[in-house]
Amino acid sequence: MLKVEKLSKSFGGHQVLKDLTVDFPEHQTTVILGPSGSGKSTLLRSLNLLERPETGKYYFDQQSFDFARGINNKDTLAIRQQTEMVFQGYNLFPHLTVLKNIIEGPVQVLGIDKKTAEIQARQLLKKVGLADKADFYPSQLSGGQAQRVAIARSLAMQPKYILLDEPTSALDPELELEVLKVLLQLSAEKKSLVIVTHNLAFASKAADKIVFIENGQVLFDGSTQAFFAAKQQSRIKDFISAMT
């Protein structure tokens, strides 16, 4: 279980998260929607402790932390490892092959032996449709392929949760589809995913739960079905019609 409670975060004088409470059920896909600048990335980065809200609680499994008191380095590292953030594919190591990119973390951080890590990496590459790209370098991949390698690399770290911030926003539509297909598959396999996206069609297919954020506050938190049924609620209606 991953949950944040009463998060508040400001940049300068600007309060970006306002007493925000939301939970992310395990083995479900939670999609975060909301207008630009509403605090989605700040929330996602807070889940991975890349941002530190000034106040609020953080719950992970049996543990709880208070942002006002701070979270020590050891706990931070442990949480980061369990909440892998998939950055846009461009943060792959350019000087390492695809295979080496994927085994780096498992070997260096998890201490898995190289042979085992390679076998797992090849399975993951197959899963994301890139079995034939193991020996390629990142510069030889399309944006969609690089993003799928980044997803495979996150999976290789065996985190409880995978966090994705607009994973396809930099991609052309046909490359976007191949990445969304992989995410739909992970969702169907009951991985624990938290995805920020503007793609409502994808959200309606992949999400078990939708959190709609505006102005640093949660305006909707419920099932995907309930979200799309809530069209009569004026803010959600405006948002949906602006997006479609």
Among Mg ion, ligand ADP, none, residue 16 binds (CB under 5-8 Å by kind): ligand ADP
Q: Is residue 87 close enough to count as binding Mg ion by CB under 5 A? A: no
Give phi and psi for 174, each to the nearest 5.
-75, -30
Q: How many CB atoms lie within 10 A of CB 7?
A: 26
State the sign of the Cα–Cα–Cα–Cα dihedral 123, 127, 132, 136: negative
DSSP 166: S
CA-nearest of 110, 121, 127 to 191 is 127
Least distance to ligand ADP, CB of residue 34, Å: 6
Q: Which helix (H) or strand (E) holds 201?
A: helix 200-206
Q: Is residue 215 close enough to count as binding Mg ion by CB under 5 A? A: no
Least distance to ligand ADP, CB of residue 40, Å: 3
Among the listed ranges 14-22, 36-44, 100-108, 134-142, the one in contact with Mg ion (CB under 5 A) is 36-44
d(CA 181, CA 215): 31
Burial class (CB in 10 A: 0-12, 13-18, 19+), 87: middle
Interface residues toward ligand ADP, by CB under 6 A: 11, 16, 34, 36-42
- Report the residue from 8, 15, 28, 41 that binds Mg ion according to the rule CB under 5 A: 41
For ligand ADP, the closer CB: 34 or 144: 34
Among Mg ion, ligand ADP, none, residue 38 binds (CB under 5-8 Å by kind): ligand ADP
Least distance to Mg ion, CB of residue 54, Å: 20
Least distance to ligand ADP, CB of residue 214, Å: 9
Among ligand ADP, Mg ion, none, residue 2 binds (CB under 5-8 Å by kind): none
Write out the two tokens for 176. 């976007």
